[in-house]
Structure 1
Amino acid sequence: MDTVRWGIIGVGDVTEAKSGPGFQQAEGSSLVAVMRRDGEKAADYARRHGVPRWYDDAQALIEDPEVDAVYVATPPDSHRDYAVRVLEAGKPVYVEKPMARTAAECEDVLAAAERAGQPVFVAYYRRAMPRFVTVKRLLDDGAIGEVHAVAVHASKPSALADGADVPWRVRPEVAGGGLFVDLASHTLDLLDHLLGPVARVTGYAARFGRVTTAEDVVSASFELESGALGSGLWSYGTAEERDEVRILGSTGTLRFSTFGQEPLVLTTAAGEQHIEAPYPVTVQLPLIQSVVDELTGRGTCPSTGVSALRTARVVDALLDEHRARHAITFA
């Protein structure tokens, strides 16, 4: 195909600026239909974004003969169902991250993809963002020598208040967990891309807040297939606010944040270098372009169902004990 005609299931906040416009901005791509269970909101989105058709039924969008591929942008508890239905209709699917609530649900999607002979892409969009393309180039070019270790530290105060509505992102039955699943999965997936897969991981998860059963502190120790060692600490209810990844090599160190836009910091014997690395206006556009390029035979996408499954398995390994302790299960 020369142009990929997209449909979106679930046009909530993430599709307003981060992703939705990317399907219209990417070369060889067009957005032809959107769906939301609330038909008035679907119609409003279509009108504001210049989309020709809207639906309040997902299957109707999936079966639309003018929709070539579908982006699933709903909360994670419906990712598996919608992705499988898209694949069973013989169409490629691009799934919002995390791919699903658990690795088992991800495996169900990949099994459906294999049966259908269709690809699965996952919106771990940092893999294609220029900021992290620069990080990968520096690492691949040996800017810090051989990588020996990586350390992640992410923390922020809690935004949850007793008696307030609980966002779906911290409701385990919907999201798979708390902000660790929603946010830290981005960092874990990025490290998989930058440094290679995790070979072994162990860690602990705890809950200090009482609004939900979701974890809000996670610590991890891991070994990469390359032999490099790593550690991680994620805390989502403490006073300190930090977002830092440090990659330590034999001749230097590279420091950056996952979610910020401040310069990358490269430290070597030559001194400290600050490298500007801002976000694109539409943050998912570079990854969406790579998906379109793969579907049209012009390139490959770096974020697939296979790579996202590896990230899901790491998340599961760190949360399995916490989930069991708090009777968090998934139907």
Structure 2
Amino acid sequence: MSKIQDNEVRWGILGVGNVCEVKSAPAMNLIPHSKIEAVMRRSEDKVKDYANRHGISKWYTSAKSLINDPQVNAIYIATPPKAHLQLAKMSASAGKPVYVEKPMARTHSECLEMIDACEQAGVPLYVAYYRRELPHFLKIKELIDTGALGEIRTVHINLKQKLDASLITKVETNWRVDPELAGGGYFFDLASHQLDLMDFFFGKITHANGFSSNQAHTYEAEDIVTGSFVFETGVLGSGNWCFTTSEKAEIDETIIYGSKATVRFETFGKGEFTLESDGKGKEIFSFDLPKHIQQPLIKTIVEDLLGSGFCNSTGNSGARANWVMDQLVKESV
């Protein structure tokens, strides 16, 4: 059943910043039965510039005006997380489906408010965890589900990045390290993708505990987090995230250990992974990634809204990533 009345999804985008240049918004004009109707940003000069460069005729500096545009029938919220709750409520009140950037909100409780607002209004809520639809992660999911890895024993996430020295002078303009705007630091921005991907692979995380700290004191948010978690399927997991290491220590590696095989991959790297299995040795699987990285996920949203498909990145799944992050940073040392 279609979730919008028309046979076309006409997007209104709130907050056309960097993520809308290549990653997401351009795909909305490439997917069948989908187009960008209007864009919004508070700065008139910046929103006009974006609209002109992307061939969009209609722009606003007011979120309310865009949401109430009668030609807009779906809303994409691409602002920093602080505004997600308010804008989702406004969109739901107008009866318009919501697609929101990740992390879904600053806290799990804000996520629950967003879910409730959309449920009360009878509109769907989607979250931009686009890795669920990328080809190499779909292949890993297939290997897990078909038993190619055997019984899954444990998974370990290891993400370390060097401290960006220029950040010292840019903190005031970098919302990703401002807890008031983002909920936390780079952990909330990056680990949210990883934890949602784990949810996609293994199901809901039911228990999570961790420690967080601000070691470098470059900005207010946490810059190191460690933790462990348990999935509803019985798989055990752990993670270590640090954003103040040396360049030589940088790593982005997630390892899935099964009784028959092991998978290693980068969350933020190329579209490839390594499979090491008993008797077969090491195999490398490589896939091309789309130019507009969110396009496969947005395609499922459009199809879901038009009643011809299904999207599995929803408000309910997105909120689970926030719940886990809340648990992992709860104990500050």
Sequence identity (%) = 46
Q: Say whether 1:258 aligns with 2:260.
A: no
Equivalent AA in structure 1 for residue 212 of structure 2? A
CA distance in 2, matches of 1:99, 1:200: 20
Does the CA contact (< 8 Å) of 2:271 and 2:289 recur in 1? no
Unaligned 5+ residue runs, structure 2? 1-5
Distance 2:240 2:268 in 1: 16
Tell me the alpha carbon deviations over residues 156-199 of structure 1, each in whole angstroms, 9 at most, x when there is no partner. Answer: 10114575021110111111000000001100000000111111
CA contact 2:149–2:259 (8 Å) conserved in 1: yes
Once residues 272 and 191 of structure 2 are traced to their aligned partners in structure 1, the CA distance between those partners, rounded to angstroms, is: 20
- Aligned-residue offset at 1:131: 2.1
| Match among 128, 131, 134 for residue 129 of structure 1 | 134
Structure 2 counterparts to residues 23-42 of structure 1, below 5 A: 23-42=28-47
Q: Is the 1:161–1:211 contact (alpha carbons within 8 Å) kept by the matching residues of 2?
A: no
Structure 2 counterparts to residues 91-102 of structure 1, below 5 A: 91-102=96-107
Q: Deviations over 1:45-73 (max 9, x none)?
A: 11111112000111000000000100000
Match status 1:301 vs 2:311? yes
What is the CA–CA distance in structure 2 between the aligned matches of 1:116 and 1:48, rounded to whole Å?
35
RMSD, aligned α-carbons: 1.2
**Corresponding residue for 1:181?**
188
Task: Give the structure 2 partner of residue 171 of structure 1.
Answer: 178
- Displacement over 6 Å in runs of 4+: none
Cα deviation for residue 143 of structure 1 reads 1.6
Deviation at 1:26, TM superposition (A): 1.4
Say yes or no: does 1:310 pair with 2:320: yes
Indicate the residue corresponding to 2:330 in structure 1.
Answer: 320
Structure 2 counterpart of 1:274: 284
**Mapped partners of 2:103, 2:215: distance in 1:** 24
Aligned twin of 1:205: 212
Alignment partner of 1:156 is 2:161? yes
Q: 1:329 maps to what in 2?
A: none
Aligned to 1:236: 243
For 2:117, the aligned partner's letter is: A
8 Å contact 1:128–1:302 — kept in the other structure? no
Q: Is the 8 A contact 2:178 2:185 kept in 1?
A: yes
In the aligned structure 2, how far is the partner of 1:280 from the partner of 1:168?
A: 27
What is the deviation of 1:96?
Answer: 0.4
Distance 1:162 1:304 in 2: 33
Structure 1: which 5+ runs fail to align?
Answer: 326-331
What letter is aligned with 1:263? E
Does the C-alpha gap of structure 1 residues 124 and 17 become closer, same or farther in structure 2, counting only changes over 3 Å? same
Assess if the C-alpha contact under 8 Å between 1:156 and 1:236 holds in 2: yes
Q: CA separation in 2, counterparts of 1:254 and 1:37?
A: 44
TM-score by length of 1: 0.95
Instruction: Quote the Cα distance in structure 2 between the aligned partners of 1:34 and 1:160.
Output: 34
